[in-house]
Structures are given as C-alpha cells and as structure tokens.
C-alpha cells in the first residue's frame, strides 16, 4: 500500500508541474519541437518496460494492430498533446491544468457513444458538474488576464482528443500491455511530429543546449517517469486508485503557477477546481461501485459453480 501511495503522489506532483514547465519551455523553444522531444524521450524511457512486458506475454503485433497503434499515437501526440502545448502557451498554467483534467469526463461520453461502457446517473451528474467547472474556469463573461480564447479552445480540443486517445487505446491495451502500447504510441506519434518538423523546416535540436534542463525535466521526469509511476500505481492497485493522481493535479498546478510564474489565481478558478475535483471523485466513486459490483458477481458465480460441482459429485456418489 505504501508503494501505491508513493507512486500516486509522485505522479500527481510530476503531472502537476507539467503546465508550469511547458509554459517556461514553450517561450524559448518551438512548440512542435518541444512536444516531439518530450514524448520521444518519454517513449524511450518506457520502452524497456514495454519490451519486458511484451516478452513476458510472448507478444506478436499483427499488421492491423500496428496500424491501429499508429492511429492511437497520432491522436495522442501530434493532435492532442500538440494542441495541449499550444494551449498552455496561450493560457494561464492554472487554467490549462484544470481544463486538461476534464478529459476523464469526456472519456466517459466518448466511451458511451462508441463502446459498451454506458453512462449512468452518477457519471451524468459528474459530467454536468465538470461542464459547470469549465464555465467558471473559462469565465466567458470576462476572460481573465493571461487567458485567451484561442488558448482555451486549444485546451478543450486537447482534453477531448486525449479522451479519444484513451478510449482508442482500450481496444488493444488488454492484449498488447500498458507499457508496450504507451511506449509504441508515444514513439510513433513523435515520429509523425518529426516528419512535420522536417517538412516545415522547424528545428530538431537547435536550442536544446540552451534549454536542456526544461527538455530533460519535461521528457524524463514529467512524461517518462510520470507515466511510469502512474502505471506502477495501477499495477499495484487498480486504474481507479491510480487516477487519483489526476484529481490532485488541479490543486498542485495553481500553487506552482503562483509561486514560479507569478500568476494570479482568481476566485472563479478556485471554484472551478473545487467543482472539477468533486466531479472527479464522483467518477471515482462510480468506478469503485462498479468494481465492487463486478467482484460480487464474480464471487457469486464462483460460489454457484462450486455448489453445482458439489451437487454433481454427491449425485454421482449416490
């Protein structure tokens, strides 16, 4: 249990520093370049764990699965995370952190539309609370200083497309494995960005020497180790417990934004974060309830099978 707590806390802290670090780096480096570097580095850090996982499962990826992983990677990196980087540069770090944390709520809606995971009353209530939280954080009646409409739109696109990336990944993650799939999708998505960089004449390594600390922190710690600790927490507990890190993140980012970027956190941002955390815990409660129900059904089925086997044995003896 201590291992889980430590991993969840480390994940929350590393993910909570993401917007501040990217906002700092985004002012000195090309957006596409920084996104490419951090996810290529993150994917390579996760690769050894993915290789071990693949060998353990005797994994052989089919052509169809390889094509699907490519699409997953494109959705996650060149689409979602590039929009995220561009949005961070055009928003306050606190606002960006809160808006990207709407993605679990969008995940529920996309899963409801395209999979067998349907929304219930609790999930619907959480989604509505999340929308209200977004309204408070955006404050459309008077957009606060530091936020821009393009930045907010980009962050919402990033949140929705990351939710799509999550739902798409569920199709193959059970067979391919968490570490292997994440590593592959990160690297494939980064290679697409590399092609964009080559085609548009953007820098690949120019400027890295002057900003190596930001690149190293964003790539190694935030993206590589952040996801590593997150997956370890899930493996040692379950997905709902690991997701607590995303509930803590919106509370960490505003504090760091005030401390390191001298941002001002207004009352509406605080209200939005409180509402968002409330919506997140509602989804956590619903997930826990569903897990308990599935466990109860499994135990009941096993008990019935055992009873039936005993009756069959007794009948044979009779």
DSSP state of 210: G
Q: 17 pLDDT exceeds 50?
A: yes
- Alpha-carbon dihedral angle through residues 133, 138, 143, 145, given to the nearest 10 degrees: 100
| Residue range 53-64: mean pLDDT, rounded | 91
Please say if the pLDDT value at position 314 is more than 60.
no
Query: How far apart, in whole angstroms, are the C-alpha atoms of residue 123 and residue 85?
Result: 29
pLDDT score at 123: 83
Cα 102 → chain centroid: 10
Helix 226-236 vs helix 2-16: angle between axes, to the nearest 10 degrees? 150
Rg (CA), the chain: 21
Q: Is the pLDDT of residue 3 over 90?
A: no
Q: Compute the mean pLDDT over every residue in the chain, rounded to the nearest whole number.
A: 85
Q: What is the dihedral of CA 98, 103, 106, 110, to 10 degrees?
A: 170
| Residue 296 in this model has a pLDDT that exceeds 50 | no
First to last CA, the chain: 49
Is the per-residue pLDDT at 221 higher than 80?
yes
Q: Are 97 and 249 in contact (CB under 8 A)?
A: yes
Sign of CA dihedral 149, 152, 158, 164: negative
Match 């089919």 to its residue by tokens. 62
Structure tokens at 5: 């707590």
Instruction: Read off the pLDDT of residues 21-42 as tens digits, 9 standing for 90 and up.
Output: 888 876 789 999 999 999 999 9
Does 280 score more than 70 pLDDT? yes
Tokens 């193959």, located at residue: 172
pLDDT value, residue 76: 95
Render pLDDT for 180-214 as a digit per residue (tens, 0 to 9).
999 999 999 999 999 999 999 999 999 899 889 99
Confidence check: pLDDT of 299 > 80: no
pLDDT value at position 107?
Answer: 85
User: What's the whole-number mean pLDDT along residues 98-111?
Assistant: 86
């Amino acid at each position: 249990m201590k291992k889980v707590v430590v991993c969840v806390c480390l994940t929350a802290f590393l993910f909570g520093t993401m917007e501040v670090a990217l906002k700092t780096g985004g002012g000195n480096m090309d957006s596409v370049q920084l996104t490419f570097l951090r996810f290529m580095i993150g994917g390579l850090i996760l690769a050894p764990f993915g290789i071990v996982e693949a060998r353990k499962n005797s994994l052989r990826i089919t052509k169809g699965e390889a094509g699907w992983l490519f699409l997953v990677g494109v959705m996650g990196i060149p689409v979602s995370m590039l929009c995220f980087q561009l949005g961070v540069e055009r928003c306050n770090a606190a606002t960006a952190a809160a808006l990207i944390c709407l993605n679990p709520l969008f995940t529920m809606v996309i899963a409801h539309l395209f999979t067998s995971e349907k929304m219930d009353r609790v999930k619907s209530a959480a989604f509505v609370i999340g929308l209200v939280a977004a309204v408070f954080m955006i404050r459309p009646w008077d957009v606060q200083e530091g936020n821009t409409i393009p930045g907010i739109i980009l962050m919402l696109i990033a949140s929705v497309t990351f939710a799509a990336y999550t739902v798409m990944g569920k199709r193959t993650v059970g067979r391919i494995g968490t570490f292997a799939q994440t590593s592959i999708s990160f690297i494939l998505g980064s290679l697409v960005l590399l092609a964009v960089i080559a085609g548009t004449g953007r820098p690949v390594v120019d400027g890295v020497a002057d900003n190596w600390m930001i690149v190293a922190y964003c790539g190694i710690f935030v993206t590589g180790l952040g996801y590593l600790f997150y997956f370890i927490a899930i493996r040692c507990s379950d997905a709902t417990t690991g997701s607590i890190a995303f509930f803590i993140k919106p509370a960490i980012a505003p504090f760091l934004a005030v401390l390191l970027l001298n941002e001002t956190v207004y009352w509406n941002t605080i209200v939005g974060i409180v509402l968002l955390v409330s919506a997140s815990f509602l989804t956590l409660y619903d997930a826990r309830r569903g897990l308990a129900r599935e466990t109860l059904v499994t135990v009941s089925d096993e008990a019935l099978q055992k009873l039936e086997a005993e009756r069959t044995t007794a009948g044979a003896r009779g």
